[in-house]
Amino acid sequence: MVKRTERTRAVLFSFLSPQLLALEKLNLKIVSCERCPRLRMWCEEVAKVKRAAFANETYWGKPIPNFGDPNADILIVGLAPAAHGANRTGRMFTGDRSGQWLYRALYQAGLANQPTYEYADDGLRLHRVMITAVNHCAPPDNKTTPDEIENCSEYLIRTFTEREWRAILCLGGIAWGQTHRVLGIRPVPKFGNGAETLGEIPILGSYHPSQQNTFTGRLTESMLAKTMTRLVQLADRH
């Protein structure tokens, strides 16, 4: 059965474009990752216990693959999946309030085909954009350890290097710092909303669209929309 599965996969891969082939191979490795026992145990436990509102749903419960346009030239880097968001739906920023803000802003910037999302098969398509994360597993209390960030760094490095990006958007300070470190940019510039590093690949910073930022007004929809406009400008200029 294993040999047949591998042979079938090889036949399917032979029909893919180089960009889609690279994405599929990377995503397969991400989804099968077992490097962080604490995170794997947590994600699986959440998938079993579930939240009452989603009691009838089948949780994904595995590492979350990259999501977006196979021909993307803009990369968005988040922190980690939400326990009852992407860990439930299996798609980046899908199933939580952060995704509502992000995908609405992408749609307004012409980078998504619809402003709303619900599940991984809801028809949402991104244009020019790929979404990845520092960590691909949901962490307890939304906090990852330095070792867990390091364990996941291979996937971020491969995401950075397997194609030419015209611009990168980092959502939050951890994504900002890890992106600069992985790209070898030292010292790491100070993070802030609208911060920019205009090097070989332009890097733009934004506060993460999490509830602690959106509910308090630290990040507004107009601020996020302005960031998306700037992101497209940087990509087009590059």
For residue 187, say if its preceding peptide bond is cis, omega within 30 degrees of 0.
Answer: yes
Q: pLDDT tier at 17 (50, 70, 90 boundaries)?
A: confident
Q: pLDDT tier at 152 (50, 70, 90 boundaries)?
A: very high
CA–CA gap between residue 162 and residue 209 (Å, rounded): 27
Which tens digits make up the pLDDT trace of 157-203? 999 998 899 999 999 999 999 999 999 999 999 999 999 999 899 99
Q: Which two tokens stand for residue 95?
A: 């199933």
Q: Which backbone phi and psi does 223 adopt, to 5 degrees?
A: -65, -45
CA–CA gap between residue 216 and residue 238 (Å, rounded): 34
CA-nearest of 162, 164, 163, 196 to 180 is: 196
pTM value?
0.91
CA–CA gap between residue 80 and residue 92 (Å, rounded): 9
CA–CA gap between residue 221 and residue 90 (Å, rounded): 25
Which tens digits make up the pLDDT trace of 88-115? 999 999 999 999 999 999 999 999 999 8
Could you tell me what percent of the chain has a pLDDT over 70? 93
- Collect all residues with Cβ–Cβ distance below 8 Å to 34 and sequence separation of at least 6: 40
Which stretches of 17-120 are assigned E, i.e. beta strand? 67-68, 74-78
Helix (H) or strand (E) holding 167: strand 167-171
For position 12, what pLDDT does the model report?
A: 45
CA–CA gap between residue 81 and residue 88 (Å, rounded): 9
72 touches 20 (CB < 8 A): no
